[in-house]
Amino acid sequence: RKEVEQDPGPFNVPEGATVAFNCTYSNSASQSFFWYRQDCRKEPKLLMSVYSSGNEDGRFTAQLNRASQYISLLIRDSKLSDSATYLCVVNRGSSNTGKLIFGQGTTLQVKP
Amino acid sequence: DAGVIQSPRHEVTEMGQEVTLRCKPISGHNSLFWYRQTMMRGLELLIYFNNNVPIDDSGMPEDRFSAKMPNASFSTLKIQPSEPRDSAVYFCALRDHYTGELFFGEGSRLTVL
């Protein structure tokens, strides 16, 4: 079993739709969590960190459920430019010294 | 931003040849990561360094792979001898000491024939 698991998709949604991705992690010692975005043939870039209390950044909302060991990302009013692969990242260890493990990614395709 | 320069951007080589991938951080950091990405396996952590010291190399596939970080401004990932299954995009990334954010280089795309 992989340490960080995501549904690879693809998720095909129309513009304006709301879409949610989940990610599960197996190591309960994990301490910090992130969502990264990767465009085709580009490097991954940070989308947002995930805080215990949940956090929102514009149309994007991230949630963490430590008891169930899953992280979610909600995208509201999706845009064509949101089409990308979304990578769940788990830090096994402290925020500036631990090991960062990536999920395989969930592909989103937003259609006109 | 922590800048990361990787070279070469693309390399095509034949099975059995030695491959050396380079990573040059432009600005300060304390952790450097090497990842490999393929369609089948996604982003796999190969090795990471804290303060130039290798901390965890459990992701290095086998003895054919080695990584060094002789100083804070340079790291190499070497494959010797290379095999077709090593074909992938290899990313170097730096972690921001304060935010934990990873900044990736543009990657080195390796094809082993």
- CA–CA separation, A53 and A55 (whole Å): 7
What mean pLDDT is reported for chain B? 92
CA torsion, ordered B35, A3, A42, B16, to nearest 10 deg: 40
- CA–CA separation, B68 and B57 (whole Å): 11
**Burial annotation A65-84 (CB, 10 A radius, 16+ → b, else e):** eeeeebbbbebeebeeebbb
Tens digits of residue pLDDT in A90-106: 988 766 678 899 999 99
| DSSP per position, A59-91 | TEEEEEETTTTEEEEEE-S--GGG-EEEEEEEE
Strand partners, B10: B109
- CA–CA separation, B58 and A62 (whole Å): 30
- CA–CA separation, B91 and B71 (whole Å): 18
Say if residue A1's pLDDT is above 90: no
Whether residues B56 and A34 touch (CB distance < 8 A) is answered with no
Tens digits of residue pLDDT in A31-90: 889 999 999 999 999 999 998 888 999 999 999 999 999 999 999 999 999 999 999 999
Q: Which of A23-32, A86-95, B1-10 has the highest mean pLDDT?
A: A23-32
SS3 B101: coil
Say if residue B2's pLDDT is above 70: no
Q: How is residue A30 written in tokens?
A: 């994990």
Smallest CA-to-CA distance from B32 within B65, B62, B4 is with: B4
Interface of chain A against chain B, CB under 8 Å? 32, 34, 36, 42-46, 49, 87, 89, 91, 95-97, 99-105
Interface of B with A in 59-88 (CB under 8 A): none
**Which residues, in sequence order, are CB contacts of B31 under 8 Å at separation 6+?**
A96, A97, B48, B49, B50, B94, B95, B97
- Write down the pLDDT at residue A75: 98
Say if residue B93's pLDDT is above 80: yes
Query: Mean per-residue pLDDT for A13-41?
Result: 94
Residues in chain A: 112
DSSP B53: E
SS3 B11: strand
Q: How is residue B78 written in tokens?
A: 């070497």
Whether residues A46 and B102 touch (CB distance < 8 A) is answered with yes
Is B105 an interface residue toward A (CB < 8 Å)?
Answer: yes
Say if residue B54's pLDDT is above 60: yes
- Chain A residues in contact with B105 (beta carbon < 8 A): 43
Label the pairing between strands A32-38 and A84-92. antiparallel
- Write down the pLDDT at residue B79: 97
Whether residues A102 and B35 touch (CB distance < 8 A) is answered with yes
Tens digits of residue pLDDT in B16-53: 999 999 999 877 677 999 999 999 999 999 999 988 99
A29 or B70, which is more confident: B70
